[in-house]
Amino acid sequence: MRLGKEQAAGYVEDTEAVSETDELIDNPERTPATPEPEPAVTAG
Amino acid sequence: MGTPLSRFSGWGRAPRATQPGGPRRPPGGERPDRPFTGYKLARAVLSADGAKTAFAGLTLGAERVYGVTAEASCVWSARHAPPRRWCGCGFYCLHELADAQALGCVTENRSALLVEVTASGRYIRYERGLRYSRQRVRVIRGGTCGCGNPGTGLADGGSGLVGWRHLTPVCDRCGAGRQALTMSGFAARLDGPVVLTLPAAPAATPAPDAGESPFAVLAAEIALLHARLDDLQSRLDH
């Protein structure tokens, strides 16, 4: 594929993509990322 | 064209937002706020078990299958990240839809789908398009049946890759009696969401007059040619 003369180079983020993380943010039924704290166990 | 890698296991690494140590960006390059929209051609493929669909490139990337979101890698050297300036690697797309449509007229591209993509990551911008590292297929704009009508489905194209069959667009008439996926069926089997924007079917053209035999038409054309030759001969004689 012929694209013609080079004009510039750079870097750009895909800001329009909906990531899986974004989809989870507003989901009230999502699994909590941090489990409930468990009671401390005393060793010995 | 570089080798696109997709989410499919066994076909390459999953795309990721950054490289180890941060994204490898060209020094002193542009930093646009929004990714680019581009247009390109891709072959539709169907997995051997019929459960998944994907895309394949047309030229250098023809041997690789990629999904809705994919990251390019160089087929020649794993030591550099596409697109490298003096290498041909990376995804390609065109800025203008009309340019992509024109490319679809080329004989070997006739069975390709026209797709609209979001191009991001590292890129080199050219007059007519981009070479870039990350791609998200956003819209499928359809393909053309071998008869010239817009494709309404995708049938086995008679070729393929290991684990994948090439599909070719077919219209309702040409696809009758053939196993074919609808365009929406193809989109539903992809590994991510895409929008279908298919061209409207052409207005029905009147059927040729059944009483007008092709031989009669040919005979009339020959008679006309003879008449013109006679006219030319008479002018030369004078």
Place of tokens 């009758």: B176
User: What is the ipTM score, two decimals?
Assistant: 0.71
CB-based contacts of A33: which residues, under 8 Å, 6+ apart? none
* Residue percentage of chain B with pLDDT more than 90: 63
pTM to 2 decimal places? 0.71
Find which of A12, A13, A20 to mutate to test the B interface (most B CBs within 10 Å of its CB): A12
**Cα B182 from Cα B96, distance rounded (Å):** 27
Using one digit for the tens of pLDDT, what is the confidence trace for B219-228?
A: 667 766 777 7
For A12, the closest of B31, B127, B129 (CB atoms) is: B31
Instruction: Compute the count of residue pairs across chains A and B with CB atoms less than 8 Å apart.
Output: 87
In angstroms, the separation between the Cα of residue B82 and the nearest Cα of chain A is 12
pLDDT, tens only, B38-79: 999 999 999 999 999 999 999 878 888 999 999 998 888 888
Write out pLDDT tens, residues B211-221.
556 666 666 67
Parse chain B into domains and list their residue ranges: 3-196, 212-238
Burial of B92 (0-12, 13-18, 19+ CB in 10 A): buried
Q: Give which of A5, A14, A21, A23 to mutate to test B binding, by max B Cβ within 10 Å.
A: A14
Contact list, B127 vs chain A (CB under 8 Å): 3-5, 7
pLDDT digit string, tens, across residues A3-42: 999 999 999 999 987 654 555 455 455 444 555 556 666 6
d(CA B94, CA B101): 10
What residues 119-158 of chain B have any CB closer than 8 A to a CB of chain A? 119-131, 134, 136
Helices (H) and strands (E) in chain B, counts: 4, 12
